[in-house]
Structure 1
């Protein structure tokens, strides 16, 4: 088994597949990446038994073959080699893979390719295509709200499902951690009708984010109630889904919030960032005091001092004081693409909805804090 490949294309592919491999493994073969050559292509595969990533890159191969080598060590070696062609030779008798690039040479211990596990996938049932840009939007605008609380495992991912907006079918992504909720939707792609609602795990979401970052054109999604597969021209990611029931999130989206505030999003984010410098690390609470045409942001921390900042806003309702976690405000503000943020409020104890004035396809819900 012998092949050669440019360092840049191999390093980029390894960056993708090695990120799937856990640093600590009780099963040695799971620490390895599977390498297979055929027809001047190198196929790299990594798995943690819950997710499998396969990436194919062009190479110059002599014959067919397969082996496995330690993923992170292999990536570190390739990453540190000069930008040149790298040659690989597998010695079947000694079970080693020799890596040569200019004056550098490495010899890595291998494990048999036949021992490498494969994530078995039956017929996934539902398949449809959407643009990489749309998939990126669904992920990027919701993933910040994924819960990291392992006891509420059913919140540890993005809920992807078919929805409806103004009578039109949509593909909707929702994430929540109980303190904030993010929802974004796109028109339902052809073929997605009747798809099951699925919860895509956090780790899979992070890998998909990397995948769509480097992809243009279309992406193919295949779904079943237990697995998801995302395919581009060079990469196939297959993952198990979270086996749980996502809560009825529509119940926490406020419908009767009758007080509206419009504010310059950039100025608001900068003001929140400034005053929260004095907020306590534990709560990071910022108080918003609203009255006719004016917003005062304030922080009062007995340990460090106080801060206030005033902003001109479009608000013509009864005065209102409400508190929020500054980090959550900044996270939501960072998702808005337009210049103006719209806050829909009710009272100091009820959820607040935040929207981008120019983008009605995304909404964010934020629970208040006591200040």
Structure 2
């Protein structure tokens, strides 16, 4: 698994890497003098090529050695028989969707922040990708917060994709010039494939029942605020400094048309920041994990943000002004006193 599989055929070189959960294949147009297959140490060849001063690289395999040459340097690497590499099979498409590459990558960054980290409940480490109206809906939650993003697509897929795999897919797509990306699912082998012109990434789908997240999204709100996104982020960062030893908990108080952010830690001190905001509805005093709020605000790209409350003990909805395709929900924290 530490090796790359190289497959040289007429006019192209296919490089394949896998960790058994995900397999990445990339095609490069090259001049092939002799067709063949081999495997070479992935980390070593990447490091050697990254340090190269020439823009041309050649690979020659003789026996069990691969010689990689670039400029005035060369490295002789031990190969392993390609028969030892995990077998790759043709992906048979069941469901398929095509969408904007830029939009899909943006959705990944906006949603994956709310997925549970590795080691948590396995199904919550993934992102739900499912049909919605004229496109796809991506949802992630760790039980304390939730993100939902809707994007347009032609066709649909349905499955739970590991968030770690999606983040790696986004990185790989960033280097590609394609305007669109295709997502395909094969339920029989429980895999999803992401395809661009020269790139294919196949990863396993997570198994299990994803929580019914729709039931925790409030339908009615009793309090709403609108504030400058940067002002709110700055105020949260300032007050959160005093709450680091208390689970990053900060209080939000909306009273008399004013928004206050508070932090109070025994034997450390207290902080209070006033934020200019438009408020409507009932006064409310509640508390949140400041990191979760900051994570949600970090993906808001509009100058102003709206936060809606349906009570002190219910999830707050965070949304950029005029943005309907993305919402974040953050559960409040119960505090004493």
1:243 aligns with 2:207: yes
Q: Which digits, 9 at most, give the CA deviation of each residue in 1:46-65, with x for residues without a partner?
A: 01112110001122221111
For residues 231 and 206 of structure 1, what CA distance do their matches in structure 2 show? Answer: 15
SS in 2 for 1:141: helix
5+ unaligned residues in a row in structure 2: which ranges? none
Find the aligned partners of 1:236 and 1:140 in 2 and give their Cα distance. Answer: 20
Q: Tell me, what secondary structure is at the counterpart of 1:278?
A: helix
Cα pair 1:135 1:212 within 8 Å, conserved: no
Match of 1:203 in 2: 164
* 1:129–1:218 CA contact under 8 A, matched in 2: yes
The aligned runs of 1:69-84 (5 Å cut-off) are 69-84=40-55
Q: Assess, with a 3 A threshold, how the Cα gap between structure 1 residues 303 and 75 changes in structure 2: closer, same or farther.
A: farther
Match of 2:294 among 330, 333, 343: 330
Contact 2:52 2:70 in 1 (8 A): yes
Tell me the number of residue pairs that the alignment of Structure 1 and Structure 2 aligns. Answer: 332
| In structure 2, C-alpha distance between the alignment counterparts of 1:269 and 1:255, rounded to whole Å | 26
* 1:1-371 superposed matches below 5 A: 30-92=1-63, 95-120=64-89, 123-148=92-117, 150-163=119-132, 168-187=133-152, 189-192=153-156, 195=157, 197-215=158-176, 216-225=178-187, 226-281=190-245, 283-371=247-335
Q: Which runs of 5+ in 1 are unaligned?
A: 1-29
Contact 2:127/2:160 (8 A) holds in 1: yes
**Do 1:291 and 1:316's aligned partners in 2 also have CA atoms closer than 8 Å?**
no
Contact in 2 for aligned 1:88/1:100 (Cα 8 Å): yes
Over aligned residue pairs, what C-alpha RMSD do you find? 1.6
Secondary structure of the equivalent of 1:178? coil
Moved over 4 A (4+): none
Aligned partner of residue 32 in structure 2, secondary structure = strand
Residue 281 and residue 78 in structure 1: after superposition, are their counterparts in 2 closer, same or farther (change >3 A)?
Answer: farther
**2:239, 2:261 within 8 Å by CA — same for their partners in 1?**
yes
Note if contact 2:135-2:155 (Cα within 8 Å) is conserved in structure 1.
no
1:87 & 1:123 partners in 2: Cα distance? 34
Question: Post-superposition shift, 1:230?
Answer: 1.0
CA distance in 1, matches of 2:245, 2:28: 46
SS at match of 2:240: helix
More off after superposition, 199-208 vs 209-218:
209-218
State the Cα distance separating 1:149 from its structure 2 match. 5.1
Q: Distance between the aligned counterparts of 1:210 and 1:365, measured in 2?
A: 26
Residue aligned with 1:191, SS:
strand
Q: Distance in 1 between matches of 2:107 and 2:184?
A: 16
- TM-score, scaled relative to structure 1: 0.85
> Using the alignment, how far apart are the partners of 2:77 and 2:243 within structure 1?
52
User: Alpha-carbon deviations, 1:63-98, whole Å to 9, x = none?
Assistant: 111110111122111112223322221112xx0111
In structure 1, distance between residues paired with 2:217 and 2:61: 58
Change (3 A) 1:41 1:72: same
Deviation of the 1:370 alpha carbon: 2.4
SS in 2 for 1:150: coil
What CA distance in whole angstroms lies between the structure 2 residues aligned with 1:316 and 1:232?
47
Query: Separation in 1 of the partners of 2:296 and 2:314?
Result: 18
